[in-house]
Structure 1
Amino acid sequence: MRLARWEDGPDIGEGFVVGGRAVPFPDNLTVAKVLAQGLKRARGLFGQVKDDAGRPLDAVRLLAPLVPASIRDFVAFEEHVEGVSASVDGKSEVVPEWYQAPTFYFTNPHTVLGPDEAVAPPVTERLDFELEVAAVLGGPGGSNLDAADAGAAIFGYTIMNDWSARDIQSREMKVRLGPAKGKDFGTSLGPWIVTADELEPFLDADGFLAVRAEVHVNGERVGEDLVSNMGWPFPELVAYASRNSKVVAGDVFGSGTVGNGGCLGELWGRSGELNPPPLQEGDEVRMVVEGIGELAGTVGPAVVPPALPRARSRSRERSRAAV
C-alpha cells in the first residue's frame, strides 16, 4: 500500500495511491489518523478501494505524504561520516563514540517540502542534498521499546532529502551544537509512504533494509548505495529514540545520508575540493529508492533574512549598577 497527500485545486486529498490514481480514504480520514490506527486498519480501508475510484495522479499535485509529529535524523552510515567530517569539521574521522549508539538530531517539521517542490535556501556557498530513507511510525508508539516492538511499530517508509548549507553547518557546529540553521530551512519527503510489509522482501538475514538508493543532479548520477550499509537497522533506530523518551504515530526517523556519494559534502571531503560543485539556483536533485519510488526537488532563490548583530562584549558584573 502507498499512502499519500495531494492538492486538487483548492482541496487537499489524503488516501491511497493505487496504480496511477489518487484515491481518498473513506469517512474523510487523514494520513495522520490512519497512521495512529496502524497497519491492520489501513489494510481494512484498502479493501474498500474500487478500481475506478479517485483521480488520475497527473491531475493532482502530490504533497509531502504526512505532516510529521517530529523528525529525528540519524547518522547511521559509517562511510558518510568518514567523508563528510572532512568537509564540515576539517578532519576525516569516525569518532569511537559513533559506534556506541545511533546518534540523531531533531530537525524542523514545519519546513517539510513535497515532491517537485523548490527549496528556499539561506545565503550559502555550499548548498548540498542528503539522500536518505525514512521510517514512519504508526500507533500507538511508546517508551523504552525493544527492537522487536519498535520494528512492529514502523508503519512504512518514504524518501527523505535533508537539504544542507554546509558552510553554515560547519560554523555553528564549532560551538558544539547543531546542526541548526544549516539544515533548518527544508526537508523533502515523498513521494508517498510505502507500508512496511511491501518492503519485507528486501530485508536481509540480519534485518537490514537492502534497497538500492541513487541520487541524480541535473540528470547525472552522483551517488548510489545499499541502505543495508547502515550501522543499525531501522527498528534499532526507533528503539534508541524511545529510550527514556516517547515516540508516537507520525514520527519520522531519517536513516542519515547513505555512503558513496549520498551527498556532495562526502565527495568534497574525500577529494579536498568542491567537485562536483555546490548546488545552485535551478538545479534539480532526483532521488530514486528501490521499492519506494522517486523524489525530486529543485533549488529556488536564496532568501536573505533581516540582519542580526554579533554578540556584544559584556562586563560579567554580578550586580546591577546603582541607579
Structure 2
Amino acid sequence: MRLANLRQGAAVVAGDAAYLLPVPLAELIPLGLARALEIGAEAKRGKALRYDEADLLLPYKPPSVRDFVTFESHVEGVRRSVDNASGVPDAWYDAPTFYFTNPHALYGPGAAIPRPVTCRALDFELEVGVVLGAGGSSLTEAEAEKAIFGYTIVNDWSARDLQSREMQVGLGPAKGKDFATSIGPWIVTADELPSLDLECRVSVNGTHIGGDRLSHMHWTFPQMIAYASRDSVVLPGDLLASGTTGGGGCLAELWGRSGSRTPPPLEPGDVVRMDVEGIGTLSGSVA
C-alpha cells in the first residue's frame, strides 16, 4: 500500500484515488505492518476521494532521522569535493556509519527549501529511507528485517561550503546538513517491495543529473537497523536513510570527480526531482 498524508487527512492512495484512514500515519506506523495493512484494506472499502500532487504533505514526523553512507562510489567522489581527500577510508568497511540529522527541519513533497543565508554551494542527495514499524535494542538482522514497515524517498539537502569548513573540526556534519530534509511523497509498505533492486534517478530543472540502483548499497537495511540498535535503541517510526546513491546522486560527487563545480550548485528557483522505481517521485525547489 501507499500511505500518504493529504490535506484531507491520512490516506491509502491508489492511482488518483485516496481512501481516508481513521488515524494519522504517526499513530498507524507503531501498530506494525500487519495491523496497518488490515486497517488500510478496511479503509479501501470506503468512499474514494480524488486528490492531486498539491494535496500531498509531509508523510509523518519521525522520532529520529539517521542518515547512513552506504554507496562506495559516493564516498569516494564526495571526499574529494568536501574533504580534499581521496579514496575510501578503511573504517567505512567496518560498519554502516551514520549521523543523526534534524527531525524538526523536515519538508514534504513539492515544498520550497530555504537556502542557508551564507551558503553558495547548495546540493541535493538522492536517497531511500526505511521506516520502522517496531523498535528494540541490539536487534539481530532477522529481527531488524521484521521491524521494517516501509520505504520512502529522502532528499538530504546539503550546504557543501558550510559542510566542507565544519568537517575540518572532525566532529561530523552540522550546519551543512541540519537545515532541511525532504521526505515523501508517501510511504510504500514493505510488502510492495520484495526486491530492492530499484532504479533511482535525479534531475534539476528537467535535466537528468545522475542515478544508480538501490541494490548497489554496500550495507542492507536490516544490517543498518541492527547496527543502529546495537547497545542503543530504535523506535517505531524511526527513519533510516540509505545515504546518497552513486552515479551522480548528488552534485558534490560530480564536482569531486571533475575538479570543478559542474553542474553548478543549486540556486533559488531550481527544481529537484527524484524518481525511485516502485516508490514514486519526490520534488522540491529552492526558495
Counterpart in the other structure of 2:12: 16
Shift of 1:54: 4.2
Q: Does 1:197 align with 2:191?
A: yes
Shift of 1:99: 0.3
Distance 1:245 1:59 in 2: 38
Decide which of 126, 133, 142 is 1:131's aligned counterpart.
Answer: 126
Counterpart in the other structure of 2:216: 229
Please report the RMSD computed on the Cα atoms of aligned residues, expressed in angstroms.
Answer: 1.2
Confirm or deny: 8 A CA contact 1:133 1:159 kept in the other structure.
yes
Confirm or deny: 8 A CA contact 1:5 1:15 kept in the other structure.
yes
In the alignment, structure 1 segments of 5+ residues that lack a partner are: 203-208, 301-323
Distance 2:7 2:206 in 1: 27
Q: Which amino acid aligns with 2:6?
A: W
Name segments (4+ residues, structure 1) moved above 3 Å: none
Considering only CA atoms, is the larger Rg found in Structure 1 or Structure 2?
Answer: 1
Q: Which amino acid aligns with 2:85?
A: K
Distance 1:61 1:111 in 2: 20
In the alignment, structure 2 segments of 5+ residues that lack a partner are: none
Q: SS state of the match for residue 115, structure 1?
A: coil
Q: Which amino acid aligns with 1:235?
A: P
Confirm or deny: 8 A CA contact 1:72 1:105 kept in the other structure.
yes
Distance 1:50 1:232 in 2: 36
Confirm or deny: 8 A CA contact 2:17 2:49 kept in the other structure.
yes
Confirm or deny: 8 A CA contact 2:12 2:44 kept in the other structure.
no
Q: SS state of the match for residue 43, structure 2?
A: coil
Q: What does 1:206-217 align with in structure 2 at a 5 Å threshold?
A: 209-217=196-204
Distance 2:53 2:210 in 1: 32
Distance 1:115 1:107 in 2: 19
Shift of 1:229: 0.7
Q: TM-score, normalised by structure 1?
A: 0.86
Confirm or deny: 8 A CA contact 1:32 1:249 kept in the other structure.
no
Shift of 1:46: 1.9
Shift of 1:49: 2.6
Q: SS state of the match for residue 238, structure 1?
A: helix
Shift of 1:225: 0.4
Q: TM-score, normalised by structure 2?
A: 0.97
Decide which of 66, 73, 78 is 1:79's aligned counterpart.
Answer: 73
The count of residues paired between Structure 1 and Structure 2 equals 286
Q: SS state of the match for residue 150, structure 2?
A: strand
Confirm or deny: 8 A CA contact 2:152 2:186 kept in the other structure.
yes
Aligned-pair identity in percent equals: 57
Counterpart in the other structure of 1:162: 156
